[in-house]
């Protein structure tokens, strides 16, 4: 039965929504991007600032998005317009949801590239299992070299990218209750079972103490503006925020669901999975001696290069490796589905198309963008990489221009998502009708006050500082140094 209204497709129950929203939030962001970012940004300082970002910005924005969606019961921009009009405000407030739709389109295009990499590793581990490979010495190099081989094989990469897109498309085309909810109710419990088993295994692998120290020791000197920006971007990415994702999923929620506590469950589960993923991956890296001078390293290679190598050194590693990547695949799929659903829901109404047609249109276009990004991986995009925002440090520590993959990621995490979130907060905090908002959040009066204060003052200010820091890193760095000195 559709929970929303009469014949509209929607979640069948509160728990279905919770599972789907957790499915959206828990994904490559937790398993791949979080450990990679934590490793690249010095561990503890990043992690603790990340948690702060989740609590004071992520959770309030998450609740705001779900409120708009549930009230609007439509695609994201239309939901915003409905609330704006009922509050006697300009319908042009829908701009932030449109940014979100654009952001989701960008993210899904590169997300499915990484999804393709996951498929590749599943294939590799299955091959190892049947090939009976034993890994030592020479063969360890073979395992570590696999990532480079994959990245060097454009055709294979684009093929796997297409496969991952096709699977995502299939479920989005089937609709909310028959597709999206169905996947979440089967895959998320399977994900959690595998996740728990591998983490317990990791905890006994020996490097647990070192991993805990690495992830939770706060070193204030490491908290630079770059680390803070990275932590916020990661928190938003992980909670699926700033792409109107939770507005879109919120639109399928029934009126009986209390949004405040439900948002808390979603954010809590997502953060727990990210932290546990760190405690799952880093001990294995430490235990197998892959860390150099206490630094386990970070970046995209962490999950795809170091971890598979580490798996080969532990008993039953090929099995664990296979289960690990299957688990990551489940998590990634429920997220890519959420990402594709945002522009699909919009295109379906905007072009008055059937769901499957809208999903095919969006998936086709996003696939092409992603395929270009995959093909030109590690090749700087011309012109726009003159802008400091679109540069990065290479392995040798030099400033280089970003490739299309990174440009899409940066545009989303440092520009579209925070700007969209600032506008969401300002809209709900200052412009939307209070009576209307109060009838949706389901919070006690104390919590409502706290939430309102956060979205009125705290979130927009912090987010604005962060956008500024992303656009003008050098100025931000000098101001930061000045404040630190004073």
400 sits in which H/E element: strand 399-401
Alpha-carbon separation of residue 101 from 81, 114, 243, 286 (angstroms): 14, 20, 6, 40
29 touches ligand PHE by CB under 6 A: yes
237 touches ligand PHE by CB under 6 A: yes
**Nearest alpha carbon to residue 297 among 47, 39, 43:** 39
Residue 28 vs 425, nearer CB to ligand PHE: 28
Closest distance to ligand PHE from the beta carbon of 358 (Å): 18
Closest distance to ligand PHE from the beta carbon of 99 (Å): 13
Size of the site for ligand PHE (CB under 6 A): 15
Residue 72 vs 103, nearer CB to ligand PHE: 103
Among 18, 20, 30, 325, binds ligand PHE (CB under 6 A): 30
Taking the C-alpha atoms of residue 101 and residue 47, their distance in angstroms, rounded to an integer, is 28
Closest distance to ligand PHE from the beta carbon of 144 (Å): 25
Name 393's bridge partners: 399
Taking the C-alpha atoms of residue 434 and residue 425, their distance in angstroms, rounded to an integer, is 13
Contacting ligand PHE within 84-113 (CB under 6 A):
107
Among 67, 84, 338, 459, binds ligand PHE (CB under 6 A): 338
Closest distance to ligand PHE from the beta carbon of 103 (Å): 8
Select the span of 20-28, 60-68, 282-290, 447-455 touching ligand PHE (CB under 6 A). 20-28
78 touches ligand PHE by CB under 6 A: no
Place of tokens 């995490």: 413
- Phi-psi group of 26: left, alpha or beta (phi > 0 → left; psi -120 to 50 → alpha; rest → beta): beta
Beta strands 391-393 and 399-401, pairing class? antiparallel
**Nearest alpha carbon to residue 329 among 27, 91, 20:** 27
25 touches ligand PHE by CB under 6 A: yes
Among 27, 43, 72, 100, binds ligand PHE (CB under 6 A): 27
Name 295's bridge partners: 292
Residue 243 vs 310, nearer CB to ligand PHE: 243
Closest distance to ligand PHE from the beta carbon of 123 (Å): 21
- Phi-psi group of 90: left, alpha or beta (phi > 0 → left; psi -120 to 50 → alpha; rest → beta): beta
Alpha-carbon separation of residue 295 from 42, 44, 298, 313, 399 (angstroms): 8, 12, 9, 19, 22
CB atoms under 10 Å from CB of 137, counted, come to 6
Select the span of 24-32, 158-166, 310-318, 429-437 touching ligand PHE (CB under 6 A). 24-32
Residue 45 vs 107, nearer CB to ligand PHE: 107
Among 79, 271, 318, 335, binds ligand PHE (CB under 6 A): 335
243 touches ligand PHE by CB under 6 A: yes
28 touches ligand PHE by CB under 6 A: yes
Place of tokens 């490491």: 222
Closest distance to ligand PHE from the beta carbon of 287 (Å): 26
Position with the least CB separation from ligand PHE:
29
One-character DSSP codes across 319-374: HHHHHHHHHHHHHHHHHHHHHHHHHHHHHHHHTT--HHHHHHHHHHHHHHHHHHHH
24 touches ligand PHE by CB under 6 A: yes
Select the span of 4-12, 19-27, 86-94, 257-265 touching ligand PHE (CB under 6 A). 19-27
By the 8 A CB rule, do 238 and 30 touch? yes
Residue 103 vs 442, nearer CB to ligand PHE: 103
Which positions lie near ligand PHE, rule CB under 6 A? 24-25, 27-30, 107, 237-238, 240, 243, 245, 335, 338-339
């Amino acid at each position: 039965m559709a929970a929303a209204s009469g014949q509209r497709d929607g979640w069948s129950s509160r728990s279905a929504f919770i599972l789907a929203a957790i499915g959206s939030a828990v994904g490559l962001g937790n398993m791949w991007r979080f450990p990679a970012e934590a490793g690249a940004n010095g561990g503890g300082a990043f992690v603790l600032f990340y948690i702060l970002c989740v609590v004071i910005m992520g959770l309030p924005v998450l609740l705001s998005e779900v409120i708009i969606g549930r009230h609007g019961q439509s695609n994201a921009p239309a939901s915003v317009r409905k609330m704006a009009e009922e509050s006697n405000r300009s319908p042009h407030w829908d701009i932030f949801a449109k940014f979100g739709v654009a952001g989701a389109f960008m993210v899904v295009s590169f997300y499915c590239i990484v999804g393709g990499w996951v498929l590749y590793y599943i294939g590799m581990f299955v091959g190892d299992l049947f090939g009976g490979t034993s890994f030592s010495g020479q063969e360890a190099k073979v395992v570590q070299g696999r990532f480079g081989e994959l990245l060097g094989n454009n055709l294979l990469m684009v093929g796997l990218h297409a496969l991952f897109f096709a699977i995502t498309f299939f479920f989005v085309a089937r609709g909310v209750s028959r597709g999206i909810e169905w996947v979440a109710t089967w895959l998320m419990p399977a994900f959690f079972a595998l996740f728990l088993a591998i983490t317990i295994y990791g905890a006994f692998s020996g490097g647990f103490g070192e991993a805990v120290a690495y992830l939770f020791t706060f070193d204030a000197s490491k908290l630079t503006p770059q680390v803070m920006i990275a932590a916020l971007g990661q928190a938003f990415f992980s909670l699926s925020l700033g792409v109107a994702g939770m507005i879109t999923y919120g639109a399928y929620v029934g009126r009986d669901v209390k949004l405040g506590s439900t948002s808390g469950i979603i954010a809590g589960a997502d953060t727990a999975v990210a932290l546990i993923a760190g405690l799952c991956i880093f001990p294995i890296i430490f235990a197998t001696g892959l860390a150099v001078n206490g630094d386990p390293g970070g970046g995209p290679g962490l999950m795809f290069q170091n971890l598979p190598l580490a798996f080969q050194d532990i008993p039953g590693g090929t099995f664990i490796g296979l289960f690990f990547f299957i688990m990551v695949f489940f998590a990634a799929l429920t997220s890519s589905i959420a990402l594709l659903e945002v522009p699909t829901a919009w295109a379906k109404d905007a072009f008055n198309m059937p769901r499957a047609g809208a999903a095919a249109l969006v998936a086709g276009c996003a696939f092409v963008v992603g395929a270009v990004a995959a093909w030109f991986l590690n090749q700087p995009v011309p012109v726009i990489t003159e802008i400091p925002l679109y540069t990065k440090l290479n392995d040798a520590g030099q400033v280089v221009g970003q490739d299309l993959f990174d440009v899409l990621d940066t545009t989303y995490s440092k520009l579209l998502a925070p700007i969209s979130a600032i506008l969401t907060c300002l809209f709900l905090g200052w412009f939307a009708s209070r009576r209307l908002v109060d009838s949706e959040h389901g919070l006690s009066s104390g919590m409502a006050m706290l939430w309102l204060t956060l979205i009125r003052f705290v979130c927009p200010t912090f987010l604005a500082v962060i956008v500024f820091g992303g656009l003008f890193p050098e100025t931000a760095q000098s101001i930061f140094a000045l404040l630190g000195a004073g």
